């Protein structure tokens, strides 16, 4: 599972938690030495029939969020080595030139590494919304969900959870909008066009054998939506895939934040989804795992 792959040292936001291009090159060398890269079609054949067994060291490379990094930095390297990458762009970011809130938070944190300062700003602004919403104290929020995390400090995790899911959606969206405009840019559309791949770029990748799947329409926590809202998200994302030429009867799903539930899995089955990818960090076992809920190893867990 990959996200940002970029020349971090020379970028405008070197603090982004991403993989450098050089580290990605070294991982590709390691992968080709120790694993057998496979395609989605090969994985599907194995999932459908025990007669199509995969090599025990099979590996599938997946790239979330549709970043322009993937077209500029990843695609040429994969194409040169004949390795298929699986790319999962959120449709809204591409079609509406919107920066996803999850990405806004990333870039705000890169611009202002002091998470405590940002938390002060967030809690200082909640009084504006108290006529409409009831909030917990800062300490109560902190105690209710903050734990250890492999890649972020507790303060950073606290900020992310507040702005990604704990505060009411209209409140967190407005706060994230303000922080992004203050610390990153007020020109969201231009930033979006720079950050994400275009439809034309994704179509070009497909012609060279890359796989494009669904990452939802708006990158929502799908397991927190009602079944009706889940259907809207999925159907709009399928329309986006059709725009790219992906067959409506043979598509794959990557869950934003790894969030899915039984109602979503049932919906995906009715829409002919063939594979689903989560974020649980372990090796997938086709004999044991639901093929719509496959775990993935994080790039940070591969030697580089």
Asked whether 260 and 278 are in contact (CB, 8 A), the reply is yes
pLDDT tens digits for range 66-111: 999 999 999 999 999 999 999 999 999 999 999 999 999 999 999 9
Size (the chain), residues: 304
The residue-averaged pLDDT of 1-26 equals: 94
Please state, in angstroms and rounded to a whole number, the distance separating the CA atoms of residues 172 and 198: 27
Asked whether 109 and 152 are in contact (CB, 8 A), the reply is no
What are the distances in angstroms from CA 291 to CA 44, 48, 237, 274?
Answer: 9, 10, 20, 8
Please state, in angstroms and rounded to a whole number, the distance separating the CA atoms of residues 180 and 298: 27
Asked whether 141 and 167 are in contact (CB, 8 A), the reply is no
Please state, in angstroms and rounded to a whole number, the distance separating the CA atoms of residues 86 and 245: 15
Please state, in angstroms and rounded to a whole number, the distance separating the CA atoms of residues 28 and 77: 9
pLDDT tens digits for range 30-62: 999 999 999 999 999 999 887 888 998 999 999
HEC per residue, the chain: CECCEECHHHCCCCCCCCEEHHHHHHHHHHHHHHCEECCHHHHHHHHHCCCCCCCCCEECEEEECCEHHHHHHHHHHHHHHCCCEEEECCHHHHHCCCCCHHHHHHHHHHHCCCHHHHHHHHHHHHHHHCCCCCCCCHHHHHHHHCCCCCCCCHHHHHHHHHHHHHCCHHHHHHHHHHHHHHHCCCCHHHHHHHHECCHHHHHHHHHCCCEECECCCCCCCHHHCCHHHHHHHHHHHHHHHHHCCCCCCCEEEECHHHCCCHHHHHHHHHCCEEEEECCCCCCCCCCCCCCCCECCCCHHHCCC
Banded model confidence at residue 301, pLDDT cuts 50, 70, 90: confident
The pLDDT value recorded for residue 132 is 96
Asked whether 281 and 301 are in contact (CB, 8 A), the reply is yes
- List, in order of start, the domains of the chain with CATH numbers: 5-89+197-301 (3.20.20.370), 101-190 (no CATH)
Nearest CA to 258 out of 86, 40, 37, 1 is that of 1
Please state, in angstroms and rounded to a whole number, the distance separating the CA atoms of residues 81 and 91: 28
CA atoms within 13 A on the CB side of 282: 8
The pLDDT value recorded for residue 149 is 67
pLDDT tens digits for range 161-194: 999 989 999 999 999 999 999 999 999 999 999 9
The pLDDT value recorded for residue 129 is 97
The residue-averaged pLDDT of 185-209 equals: 97
Cα 170 from chain centroid (whole Å): 22
């Amino acid at each position: 599972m990959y996200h940002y792959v970029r020349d971090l040292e020379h970028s405008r936001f070197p603090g982004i938690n991403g993989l450098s291009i050089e580290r990605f090159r070294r991982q590709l060398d390691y992968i080709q030495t120790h694993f057998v890269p496979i395609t989605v079609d090969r994985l599907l054949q194995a999932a459908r029939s025990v007669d199509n067994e995969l090599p025990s060291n099979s590996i599938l490379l997946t790239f979330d969020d549709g970043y322009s990094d993937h077209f500029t930095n990843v695609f040429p390297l994969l194409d040169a080595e004949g390795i298929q990458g699986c790319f999962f762009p959120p449709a809204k970011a591409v079609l509406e030139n919107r920066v996803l809130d999850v990405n806004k938070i990333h870039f705000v944190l890169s611009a202002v590494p002091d998470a405590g300062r940002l938390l002060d700003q967030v809690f200082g602004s909640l009084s504006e919304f108290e006529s409409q919403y009831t909030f917990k104290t800062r300490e109560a929020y902190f105690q209710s969900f903050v734990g250890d995390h492999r890649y972020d400090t507790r303060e950073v995790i606290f900020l992310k959870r507040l702005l990604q899911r704990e505060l009411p959606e209209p409140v967190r969206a407005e706060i994230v909008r303000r922080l992004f405009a203050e610390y990153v840019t007020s020109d969201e559309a231009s930033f979006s066009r720079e950050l994400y791949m275009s439809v034309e770029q994704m179509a070009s990748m497909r012609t060279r054998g890359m796989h494009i799947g669904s990452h939802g329409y708006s990158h929502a926590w799908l397991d927190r939506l009602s079944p009706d809202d889940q259907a809207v998200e999925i159907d709009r994302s399928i329309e986006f895939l059709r725009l790219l030429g992906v067959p409506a009867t043979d598509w794959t799903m990557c869950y934003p934040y790894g969030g899915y539930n039984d109602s979503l899995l049932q919906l995906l089955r009715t829409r002919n989804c063939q594979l689903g990818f989560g974020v649980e960090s372990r090796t997938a076992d086709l004999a044991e795992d639901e093929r719509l809920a496959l775990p993935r190893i994080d790039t940070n867990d591969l030697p580089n």
